[in-house]
Amino acid sequence: MSPLLIAAIGILVFAVVSVAKGICLVPQGEEWIVERLGKYNHTLRPGLNFPFPYVNRVAYKLVTKDIILDVQEQEVITRDNAVILTNAIAFIKVTDPVKAVYGVTDFSEAIRNLIMTTLRSIVGEMELDEALSSRDKIKARLRESIADEAIDWGLTVKSVEIQDIKPSSSMQRAMEMQASAERERKAMVTKAEGEKQSAVLEAEARLESARRDAEAQVMLAEASAESIRRVTTALGTEPAPMLYLLGEKYIASVQKLAASDNAKIVLLPADIQESLSGLIGKVARTNY
């Protein structure tokens, strides 16, 4: 084989290899960073590209679609020294491939650590109850806090979601004990309030009963006084009506005594007529 033919074959092979190395087909959703002799040269967009071979090389291949970053669970101490567990998930997008490659060593790890440290800082300013009930507030502050850093790295933080935020196991046990103690305290307070209300109502009932008893006694006394006044007015100075009433009362009392279960013997004075006559005479002398 002649040297000329060998040279021609060599040139042909070199040309084919050069063309092969100089053709790049970039998929949609990616951008490739091309360096020339170790220095950034240009960015290959999706589609067919023809970078100059040998002096240029594709150094980085970046995905320009939304990237999902899972932020691992971590312990965070709140302002009132409570330990809670929290994790998050971030959705980012590479908007400037050059900054994403040359601005930070590993932009995914950088964003993940930035979210973790910022989340600890935000939750550390809150008390336990506020942290557990303020997911939207934490999410908004977290996204706002990391937005500037992300722009410097050629990234856009589209969303940051708090996946879970809960007390640690020891804190959960303490909260359960606290809740149980609080329920017992409320039960005791309710019982004490009920007993107090019952005592107040009972005292008011006794007071009302005593007041009504006093009013009844006053009314009975007034009725008795009115009765005596009317009897006195009706009898006047004549002794006979008075003797009749006294005799009637006497007989009624004897009947009640005889009707009693405990009364076996009833004694009647033998001189009932003389007693009544003496009483009449006494009354008559008194009138005269």
Q: Which residues of 52-105 form beta strands (DSSP E)? A: 56-63, 67-77, 83-94
Q: To the nearest whole number, what is the mean pLDDT of the chain?
A: 80
Check whether domain 67-167 has CATH 3.30.479.30, yes or no: yes
In order, the DSSP letters of 175-188 are HHHHHHHHHHHHHH
Half-sphere exposure of residue 16, counting CA atoms within 13 Å on the CB side? 5
Secondary structure of residue 132 in the 3-state scheme: helix
The pLDDT value recorded for residue 91 is 92
Q: How confident is the model at residue 246 (pLDDT cuts 50, 70, 90)?
A: low
Digit-coded pLDDT (tens) for 66-111: 999 998 888 888 888 888 888 899 999 999 999 999 988 888 999 9
Residue 187 φ/ψ, nearest 5 degrees: -65, -40
The pLDDT value recorded for residue 242 is 63
Digit-coded pLDDT (tens) for 20-73: 677 888 889 889 999 888 888 888 998 888 887 878 888 899 998 999 999 888
Question: What is the crossing angle of helices 107-124 and 135-152, to 10°?
Answer: 140
Residue 268 tokens read as 């009647």
Average pLDDT over residues 254-259: 69
Digit-coded pLDDT (tens) for 150-187: 888 999 988 888 888 888 777 667 666 777 788 888 88
Number of residues written out for the chain: 288
Digit-coded pLDDT (tens) for 178-236: 777 888 888 888 888 888 888 888 888 888 888 888 888 888 888 877 777 776 776 66
